[in-house]
Structure 1
Amino acid sequence: MRDSHVTHWMRQAIFLGCCFSLAAISAGEAAEPKTKVSDSKQKPVQVRVQVQNGQVVPLISGGTTLKKTEPAKVPEGTHEQIAVIEVGSKLILGMRINTFCMDKAGNLLAACGSGPGQIRVFNPDGQLLDTWNVRIAPDAINVDQDGTIYVAGSGKLLKLDNKGKILMTKEAPHAKAVKENNVKLREQVVQQMKARTSTVVNMVPRLEKMIQQIKDKNKTPTEQDKKRILSYERILEQYKKMEQTAKKVKEPTDQEIDAQVAAMSKRKLRVSSISANEKEIFIACSAIKGYGYEVWRTDKNFDNPTVIVKGLRGCCGQMDVQCNKDGIFVAENSRHRVNHYDRNGKLIKYWGKRDRNGVEGFGSCCNPMNVAVGRAGEVYTAESNLGYIKRYSADGKYLDFVGKVKLVPGCKNVSIMVSPDGDRVYMMDLTRNHIIVMARKPTATASTSK
């Protein structure tokens, strides 16, 4: 279906926001920590544009320049990459991996496809053992201590036995809430579309002001200033065209609103992660109202649902939750931290900070992206873009640098699983459609996993 005029210029606004960010003299997120802020006699205006809640928002500051430094040294890891497991089917179009988990025997269960999907079962060395078909798009998968498998996707929750037989199918609690909240969702969409229009219109005077500031700074502009003015003027011309289009469209049509509501509903139906312990199931998904993420808790039959955590901040559609007998651990990637809650959602502790020059914190734009809980309760973290895997105690003490995987950079789900003895760690690369196998180095002590 072709974009309407409104949707088309909204897409242009987001695209230009990215271009604007590149045109401005500002630092992007590097795959490795490479920059630090230093003082300079010359204090150019810095301009960054980011997308917040669907809006292109200019960020203007001054007084700093960015100086390149050497990348932070990556420490020796306890594990090393030994293999990759090719997961996706070359025979079935679109049967790509979405996430994976590990069963009691150490086998890997990869959830694949956009609906209908498959659960593809591999042994620890990557041999395909079985394939189970499911009628949903499996967003998330987990196995409890008894070997029962739980799958979430397409607004449904599935319970399977260890042979792949479907024992139960129910509507996910958040899916029911999304349907019941349709009127509020429509209001949110209309507000969002109007806000985007306002953003486009307001960008024109902002850009004109920034261009004039550069011209007024020096009577004879430098070559760098000339390049910046030229870049801004090109972007300004595009925004003026979009401004004219935006002024002609006074109100979004019902058809445009319906399309946006359908897209937002689909996004809110998606499950970021699911985790099960002996008695309960925990599900992370988009907030029903507004933005951000929430964690739901149900019993093992998907009954008695309740929201136990609200207001989580995540990027790229990702919010990972993993549980054990001590509660749940959440990788709140946009806040660069791990949160530990009890079963009722009471925050016990959180740890982590943004750290672009070391490894004890979390680097890049939004990490840690995923977590896993080891046999002794220790917490493993995975960082997208960087490919770092680290190990912490349950109370947040940094223990080990597990290793750095060869990963296609990007802000994405990088699910990890740890074998019961800790000798193997597995990490997913969505882009390459495979799972990376990390094995303990001979020189690493086995006690680090116990």
Structure 2
Amino acid sequence: MLLVYTHKISPRLKYVFKHICTRILGVEVEFTTQIEAFIAHDSLKMSYTKQQLGNEFFVKSHDILFEQGLSDLDISIHDWENTKCFFFNGDKSAIPFDIFAASFYLLSRYEEYLPHVKDEFGRFTAVESLAYKHGFLKQPVVDIWAYKFKDALQAQFPEFKFPEKSYTIKPIIDVPSAYNFRLKGIMRTLGGMAKDLFRFRFKGLYFRIMVILGFMHDPFDTYKYIINRQKHTKFKFLFFFLIGDYSTYDKGINPNKKKFVSLIKHVADYCFVGLKASYFAIEDMSILKKEKSRMEAILNTSLKASRHSFSRLNLPKSYRNLIELEIKEDYTMGYIDHIGFRAGSCTPFLFYDLDYEVQTPLKIYSYHLMDYALLKTHSLLDKKKVLNEIINEVKQVNGEFISIFHNYTFSAERKWHGFKDLFNIILESANANEANEN
């Protein structure tokens, strides 16, 4: 156990120390404001305050962990060996930056509460982030800092044995529409045919008719392939099915269609299944509640995980709604068009509500790559290079690599050429890691 002496035990301090020490490094942490208790502790210990007590392991604290609400922070980014950091704390500190304050800033998504320009869907974009502006978006800096902290602690306490942690993956399959042509209903099918004719897409019209008549396979129906891949890895895939009502933004399958319900149940026999909340569910609690009930009726169990359509997040409201509905995990946080670590970490973390100054029970699984982001890289060779680079970043800190692919990503459509290979690289990265450990 690590004992931390500090002048004030705040909710922010407990939150970030537990993420770094317990979730990343696997070490339990306790806090004290009593110097006598600190001196008496005969194992791992440190002080986190303004002034060093004596010769102990000391990290000089920044004010952010003892404040409430938002303040106008002056953030200056510095190079630190192979990475970058901020909140420099001088020479007397055992490490040159207050990594706890910096980690809290990133994990709490402090910058997303500050004024910023949103995109057309009301999303916080990568280019608005501190990480993108200063070139550390593609590094899980919170985890990297945690390991630097571990090395410094180990040097001072060489007899202490830190637990080992290993690299894992969590492949996510996003299903905004289970089929391209099937189960769309008469009006939508006729409308699609008319659109194909009007735009002279005769090949598309031919495929549509052949699929509807049952002579060809629906291009979005890739479930057999995905489930087959699931059978060859110990890491369970997580599917998110959209079962919301048809709208301008959501054009999925009617959730009352028996064949669609059967598909979800079939996938749930092999993989985990969560709810892809519809576009308007982010704003309307009653819609979210209805969709949650629908999915629970299909799965015949309580809903554990959700993800918002279009990766839309409205902090803190979006997460408060999930907490109120007792949804335990969310997979919305990430950037659809940029590869990297939106919250700076590749270790799942609990949502901290900055308005209420409280750690919540909602666990955030921030994704690091969406298939669309790889389309920006042209050749398959370059795509593989970019993918391996981000996987290696996560491997170096024994984190969890979370990727999002869609059901149609595995179709024969030309723009998705080679994406089966890319998905296999992700699966093999975990299998190779397992083989190395054995």
TM-score class, shorter: under 0.3
Higher helix fraction: Structure 1 or Structure 2? 2
Higher strand fraction: Structure 1 or Structure 2? 1
> Which protein has greater RCO, CA pairs closer than 8 Å, 6+ apart?
2
